[in-house]
Structure 1
Amino acid sequence: MLSDDVRDALFALERAMWAAATRYDPDFQETRFAQDFLEFGRSGWVYTRAQTILPEGAPIDATLTGLHARPLSLEHVQLVYDCAVRDADGVVRHAHRSSLWSRLGDRWVMRFHQATPYEPSDLGSPTHPPSSFPRRREPTGARGKAKDPGVPRPRERQLGQRRQAALDGVRPDRRWRARRRAA
């Protein structure tokens, strides 16, 4: 399990990523972003470590809520939270955020970060504790029995045929003609 000290230290590191004093401190960033760091930004853009380490910038007016730590192993922890960022025009942009932190020796580094935009009204409240995360339901057939995941459904079969036709270099609607000519 994750100790309270480790959890609190990771929360402090996550908050430091948003604070101008540390966000634009190259020494802090060099030691806190993993060499293979990758980010999927709220905008949909993908950022590498080199693009993320910024020597200067404007302060970020961000409010982090619902911070929750999910230990994935002894050396890896996922932090999930909601974030509201007020831009220079006063517009508030919301995002669900997730960061993967890895322990390297005696320090923690951020390996991955993702932001997914959302509107608070879509979900009823800006924060969602892990106990309220939607759970995936098992697919069921017409009689309520669990479907065999190994058996492709009709739509999957159709997509599989289209993929195979594309690999064969034949348009899907003409594939049957190509087979007929070959026979």
Structure 2
Amino acid sequence: MSRSADPLRRIRDDQALTELLSDSFEFDVRRADHVDAPRLMSGLPLEAVAGDFTGGKFYLCGEGPARPVWYASGEGEAGVIARDFSEALGLVVGLPYWRDCLKYSDDGDLTSMRAAASFLQRDMLTSDPEMVSAQSRAAGTLGLEIKPVPVLVEHLHMAVRSAGPADVFLDGTGEYDGLFGPFPPSRNPRWR
């Protein structure tokens, strides 16, 4: 990322970029507030940086320049999605259906995630052909190099798997489940 030493500040300061990330990629820095004070069982600090339309939140974890990014859904699942903020931006822009890749992961099977990503990419291009243009604009503005879909899926898989036993996300409602969903891609009737 070459355009700014602080990409989060750049997003917050650029209204057009804020709207593009929100509208096209469900990454809205204006939704960084949280009602329940979330925490990790390990005690590492969390900083809310964005939210999505379903009540999910993105958090920077720990301290220092390379902070892992956590995602906590509004349905009670949470986990690491990227090694740092730049990788998280590359994920949400390059793989806008990343949540569905996890939903149809058959409990974390990389082959299932790859199959789901293939179907999801096809569906995205059919239903929203303008998404490619939005991806290009966001990547250009942020100075991101968008990796190929299979690479992004593999990075997401590795990030979610990287959480250790002390990496349990908690808030006022209790402990959250992990991000890998139970469904195989064959569960979606449109993909048979």
TM-score above 0.5, yes or no: no
Give the TM-score normalised by the residue count of structure 1.
0.23
Q: Which has the higher contact order (CA 8 A, sep 6+)?
A: 2
Max Rg structure: 1
Q: Give the strand-richer structure, 1 or 2.
A: 1
Give the TM-score normalised by the residue count of structure 2.
0.22
Q: Give the helix-richer structure, 1 or 2.
A: 2
